[in-house]
Structure 1
Amino acid sequence: MNKEHLRDLLKQVQSGQMNLDAAMGELKRLPFEDIGYAKIDNHRCMRTGVPEVIYCEGKNIEQIQGIVRRMAQYHDNILATRASPEVFEAIQKTEADCQYHELARLVVIHPRPVEKKGNIALVSAGTSDIPVAEEAAITAETLGNQVNRIYDAGVAGIHRLLHSCDELFEANVCVAVAGMEGALASVVGGLVSCPVIGVPTSIGYGASFGGVAALLSMLNSCASGVSVVNIDNGFGGGYQASIINQMVVRGQGAEDRGR
């Protein structure tokens, strides 16, 4: 339940369109709704501004459909991550109003246009890293952020990255997505004054150990201001970037009002 839904509920009680018993029934489901295999956090949108995100891997089709069905009653722009085409088809049967981003394996349920604010620079080292980068980008855009994509700009051809320095300098936060040795996060961190979020990917040959090499490289970065999320966690990188960018936007707004 988001703030708009709660406000509408209270207005219905105030106007007499809904009686107190019906309103109490709605409010009982406000903290969470227990449907047996999941406890849906209906209150999360009010606490964080973002509805609970559905992680699809490990859930069967019926569970995903049940969660979507309940959440769609109250929320727009619901994110379902790690969704295969088969999962999308199942979601679509439950809620036709949804959009699939196949490269990112991400479904947006009840997609609604939002004003995209601020500036997030999202850099991927190689073309193979783009699926993880797109998960980060679409997550951030769905949450109301302007995202500037800079793809295939890894350190093996560092002139490609340096060509985009102006775009990096203008960003409120940068997301660096890289596999192999994961050096991109350190290089970006050494160029910019804003926070850098490293997203290691599992792309690489044997001794990359499925992204562990990139993860350790980013964790041990000598560039200040670099933080790191888990391997292939584009969603986490995009969400964290959104929080930082939105804080900057609010701060700029407060500063403008104070003038």
Structure 2
Amino acid sequence: MGLIMDKKSLIKNIKEGTLSEEQALEILEDKGYTDVGDVAKIDFSRKDRRGFPEAIYCASKDDESLVDIFKAFCQRGESVIGTRASRAQYDLVKKSIPDVEYSDLAQIISLDYSKDADKIGEIAIVSAGTSDLPVSLEAEITAKFLGARVKAYRDVGVAGVHRLLDKTEDIKKANVIIAIAGMEAALATVLAGLVDKPIIAVPTSVGYGANLGGITALLSMINSCAEGVSVVNIDNGYGAAYQACQINKLIAKGYK
């Protein structure tokens, strides 16, 4: 039905003279993606289908393809973030696109044309320790890029639970909570026992040998006895932020 209505709108715009036949043909022939060389097809229609634009996973991409991908977004005036990007990749992209920014800890390259005034709702990002900061920043930058207002509460792990309790009333004001923790990852369970909001838990690879690179934290969060906790993969701040933004958007705009 959506496609039919779109075509009707095109016909109407042509009749009213607000759209030329050439422009209409260009829209109709748009495949929804753009070829970048022989290796990439950028999904520019994803924002219309899913509500949020495509992100670029930078690790393992060759230099030429990565630069060309960012150029394609820049030429269309489209915002984009590149996750798991190295400083060397950022330096390379910045030579062609001076407006890009980089977070060393989050390993994110961002080209963001959005405005703070357009952000909606509120997501709380709660992290247990300072060693969880890279994942916390990945989630924060991603959530802001996807259009959410964000408040971060860092170093409030359960080893000093009074730090968390001091912030609980503020955390409750958020529509969604992202809980980030390594070690035994008890933070998500404790939070779920204190608040009435959905919690997305992110296990991190922070911890000593028995942490097993985050496997222990992952299993701990999956086995939480508290209701309302969903869990993403180890160190996946991006995935947690995306899911949180979907929920936040429904709440902020009013689900119908």
Name the TM-score, length of structure 2 as normaliser: 0.87
Which residue in the other structure is 2:161 paired with?
A: 158
Query: Residue 242 in 1 paired to residue 245 in 2?
Result: yes
In structure 1, the gaps of 5 or more residues are 1-5, 255-259
Select 1:140's aligned residue among 115, 119, 143.
143
Which residue in the other structure is 2:84 paired with?
A: 82
Query: Does structure 1 retain, via aligned residues, the 8 Å contact 2:135–2:180?
Result: yes
d(CA) in 2 for partners of 1:182, 1:94: 41
Number of residue equivalences: 245
User: More displaced, 64-73 or 123-132?
Assistant: 64-73
Residue type of the partner of 2:111? I
Residue type of the partner of 2:211? S
Query: Does structure 2 retain, via aligned residues, the 8 Å contact 1:72–1:110?
Result: no
Residue type of the partner of 2:60? G
Q: CA deviation at 1:86?
A: 1.0
In the TM superposition, 1:1-259 aligns within 5 A as: 20-21=21-22, 24-25=25-26, 27-35=28-36, 36-114=38-116, 115-251=118-254
Query: Does structure 1 retain, via aligned residues, the 8 Å contact 2:112–2:145?
Result: no
Residue type of the partner of 1:57? A
Query: Does structure 1 retain, via aligned residues, the 8 Å contact 2:73–2:79?
Result: no
In structure 2, the gaps of 5 or more residues are 1-5
Q: CA deviation at 1:224?
A: 0.3
Q: CA deviation at 1:112?
A: 2.8
What is the root-mean-square deviation of aligned Cα atoms in Å?
2.3
Query: Does structure 2 retain, via aligned residues, the 8 Å contact 1:121–1:168?
Result: yes
Alignment CA distance shift 1:111-1:199 (3 Å): same
Query: Does structure 2 retain, via aligned residues, the 8 Å contact 1:98–1:111?
Result: no
Which residue in the other structure is 2:3 paired with?
A: none
Query: Does structure 1 retain, via aligned residues, the 8 Å contact 2:206–2:214?
Result: yes
Name the TM-score, length of structure 1 as normaliser: 0.86
Give secondary structure in 2 for the equivalent of 1:163: helix
Give secondary structure in 2 for the equivalent of 1:73: helix
Q: CA deviation at 1:126?
A: 0.3
Give secondary structure in 2 for the equivalent of 1:121: strand
Residue type of the partner of 1:129? D
Overall identity of the aligned pairs, in %: 47
Residue type of the partner of 2:67? Q
